[in-house]
Amino acid sequence: MVFSSVTFLFYYLPLVLMFYYAAPKALKNAVLLVSSFLFYFAGEPKFFALFFVSILLNYLAGRAIEKYRTTPHGKGVFVLSVATNLLLLGVFKYANFFVDGLQTLLQLNMAVVKLALPIGISFYTFQAISYLVDVYRGEVPAQKSFINLALYISLFPQLIAGPIVRYKTIDDALDSRTHTSELFVEGIQRFTVGLGKKILLANQLGETWGLILQAKEPTVMLLWLGAVGFTLQIYFDFSAYSDMAIGLGKMFGFDFNENFRHPFMSKSITEFWRRWHISLGTWFRDYLYIPLGGNRVSKLRWCINIAIVWLLTGLWHGAAWQFVLWGGFFGVLLVLEKAFLGKVLLRLPAFAAHIYMMVTVILSFVLFNSASIYEAIRFISGMFAMNGLPLMDALTVYYYKSYGILFLLGTIGSTDIIQKEVAKLYRFKAFELIKPLALFSLLILSTAYLVDASFNPFLYFRF
């Protein structure tokens, strides 16, 4: 079940809200937990038992880690519990990748059972590990209530695609949280904006990549159109989901951290990754990069730390060599920017630094979305006219005219221009009356597109 679906919008969410607000305070967490379990079961019934066992093991592990934290047994329980989480993630997400690689290396041709990827396992595994680490470090007490710990891991707004929520940021809210009409309305507004971004921008932009792949004789400019289209699509797709998750959280009294801050306005790759998928970047920083020594080590060791973090970041996104290369590509760029390139970028005009960042990101997402490294190389070569493709043709001109306004809206929407202009409107009292009408119109328009559309993917379900 996805947020941008008729089932969720008109059946699941209204019923959950009705039962949640009708329940007494002591039962609200239980109602929300049952709702979250039903949400996961509806999307992945065959892996629900695995999901539940994972929650139970992490609950027991947290209690044991706190009890024995100051003894050698505590460290043993901690290591074993983290290893168990990583093992489950490794088996279901990476077993096929390693088995295929081993068969290729040894030139074997054995029949192997392919394991399906449980929805959301990358997200809920990282949340569970962060909880265990924080308990082991003594930063938070272990959660005594199974319902509360299970709710933290399974909370449906962020269960299947993030943002990755840290336990210590919502542990107080699990025990007691405030519900106000202002917060609820704010949540509806945030959710509606996210829904509009998903349906009206991400879905429409996503169609361009398919058109490019179907083109019998693509041109250089047509390939660039597809690459830019996918780059904008994945931004609006994932940031829209984060918007909707944050909005839903507010409806239930939770305050989730921001996950995107207009990353395409960056002027370096370093800045880009401070603005893109913030919850993932900070997770790797706090639970891997800093424990490895961060940058407070020798230059060689520092480069190794960067390489480990970014190769694993690539693998986190997908079990394929193109994702490993994608992570390594960013790792190299970040090292270069910290070594000398960052200083060069500061001396460049802002537009030049921005172009460097944007072209780099677009090329990276071609690799990210390609079925193989070979396909990515062929696509990127075509973008730079290295394989004899023509620059333009009549079909390319037609596509640019057809999608021009959509791309313009997408470009503007990826910046903070609209946000700043809307902020100015708050000075006028009439805007308080217009705003609800505008949001209601956006909801109606999004729903109309959703009901009529056959193309409604969510990219991060793959991860």
List residues with catalytic annotation.
317
* Helical axes 373-383 vs 321-336, angle rounded to 10°: 60
- d(CA 226, CA 199) in angstroms, rounded, equals 18
- d(CA 126, CA 165) in angstroms, rounded, equals 9
Tokens of 95: 């077993």
Give the chain's radius of gyration (CA, Å): 23
- d(CA 233, CA 353) in angstroms, rounded, equals 23
3-class secondary-structure state, position 351: helix
Question: Comparing C-alpha atoms, which of 305, 288, 234, 220 is closest to residue 263?
Answer: 234
Is there a contact between 164 and 279 (Cβ–Cβ < 8 Å)? yes
Amino acid sitting at position 168: K
CA-angle at 204, arms to 201 and 209, nearest 5°: 120
Is there a contact between 219 and 390 (Cβ–Cβ < 8 Å)? yes
Tokens of 68: 């024995």
